[in-house]
Amino acid sequence: MNKSYSRKMVARVFIPFAFSHLTSFIFRNINAVLAPFLISALSLSAGQLGLLTSAYFLSFSLAQLPVGLALDKYGPKRVQLFLLSIAATGSLLFYVGKDFSTLLLARILIGLGLSACFMGSIKILSFYVPSTKLPSIHSYLLAAGGLGAMLSTLPVAWIVEFTTWRSLFLIMAGLIVVVMFTITIWTPADPVEHRMVKWPTLSSLLEVYKDKDFLRVIALFLLPHTVSFGLAGLWLGKWLEDVGHFSTETVSLYLFISMGAVIVGALSVGSITEWAGKYGLKPMEVGGVGIGLFILIQTLCALNCLPLMPVLSVAFTLIGAITGLDYTIVAQRVSPAMTGRTATCLNLLILFGAFLIQTVFGFIVDFWPQNSQGQYPSIAYQMAFLLMVLLQIPGFLYWLMRVISQRSLRNPSVG
């Protein structure tokens, strides 16, 4: 890949699709700031709030397999433009919706419409980027998502001060139209040689889930990734508000910094992984160490230590960025013609898991009664965080024991 072709890729491929990925992260995390307004306007319980917010992940995840097939069959540009029109419709419906059911439907449409933003980016980048450079370019893409997450915090809080939360979704619909225009004008047509001629059979999709390497990746990464997505997008802010008793403005500021840490974390993951590779360390080993640290951060969150809460909210997203390494590991092991299917098989598990995590966390918290300010007690969040930690430990220990076993075989003790 020569230098001029690299510039063409960045200008005409990476930027428009990174723009769409950024937009999807704004929608994904926006309810973390809007939660007090939604609760007030619709009298939502914690369970309803969790369901409304996680509906994005549900529709997003259910769309992954057909979207992956469509990306391989029709190419990312055509698929992306079609789906973004659905997302714009969902945003407009959220703007006019007056009850929980309507907003739930709108959130489902938004999730469906944005379901190809990341996978489409991975697919189109696989046409132009050498395999050895994928960790870095994927880290830039994840950083774009982190920027979108940042924009969903303090900037959203500022906008809501001058308008209503409903009007915000009208603005977001306009932003999606801008993304569609950018992709239409800038992005080149998809290379025909990388398109799938026939739709694959169900058995060819199941082969992805049966692959031993794929199973090893999800055993380590899946649950931490779902927790990272699910909690940062909603419950991290509510935890700061209910347990830390911070104001809405202060919570927005902490979330803004936390989402900024996503950018730092994503860029660092790519650099650290490539650096570690020079010394013979594989991405799975880098990911295992990072996930161990991520579980430790969650354990500290479960302690509800008030002075540490702002620091932990930042550390949660900073260290949690390591979970995005699973996309790179999967993408490195398949041909460009299969990237859509394989990556979306992974994404299906992650996003459906995030839906479950976000919903279950809310229902656990809902076991305890609210106070007069609509806040839940500390013990509710302690139990919810503790369950998250317990779910992730088996996968981490399985990876750790496997590493120890492999090192023992390579370096047997001398009797």
Give the domain CATH number at 68.
1.20.1250.20
3-state DSSP helix/strand/coil % of the chain, to nearest 5: 85, 0, 15
> Considering the domain boundaries, does residue 191 fall inside one?
no
User: Residue 341 and residue 123: Cα distance in Å, rounded?
Assistant: 9
- For 24, 127, 341, the CA distances from 145, given in Å and listed in that order, are 8, 21, 21
For 381, counting Cβ atoms within 10 Å of its Cβ (0-12 exposed, 13-18 middle, 19+ buried), the class is buried
What average pLDDT values come out for the chain (415 residues) when binned by 10 residues?
55 87 91 85 84 87 83 87 96 91 94 91 78 73 86 88 90 95 87 57 71 86 93 89 90 90 85 84 90 96 92 95 86 64 79 88 92 90 96 95 80 52
The first and second tokens of residue 2, run together, are 């020569």
In a domain, 278, yes or no: yes
Distance CA 396, CA 220 (A): 6
Residue 232 is classified by DSSP as: I
In a domain, 180, yes or no: yes
Which pLDDT score, from 0 to 100, does residue 236 have? 92
DSSP state for residue 366 in the 8-state scheme:
T
In this structure, is residue 341 part of a structural domain?
yes
**Is residue 96, in this structure, part of any structural domain at all?**
yes
Residue-number span of the structural domain to which 388 is assigned: 8-185+203-410
Is 415 a member of any domain? no
Task: Output the pLDDT for position 414.
Answer: 43
Residue 329: inside a domain, yes or no?
A: yes
Task: Report the number of distinct structural domains present in the chain.
Answer: 1
Is 2 in a helix, a strand, or coil?
Answer: coil
pLDDT at site 207? 73
What is the pTM for the complete model shown?
A: 0.75
At 320 the pLDDT is: 94
Spatial separation of the C-alpha atoms in residues 26 and 17, rounded to whole Å: 15
Cα torsion through 300, 240, 392, 279, rounded to 10: -70
The confidence score (pLDDT) of residue 2 equals 42
Q: Which two tokens stand for residue 34?
A: 């809007």
Is residue 197 a part of any domain in this protein? no
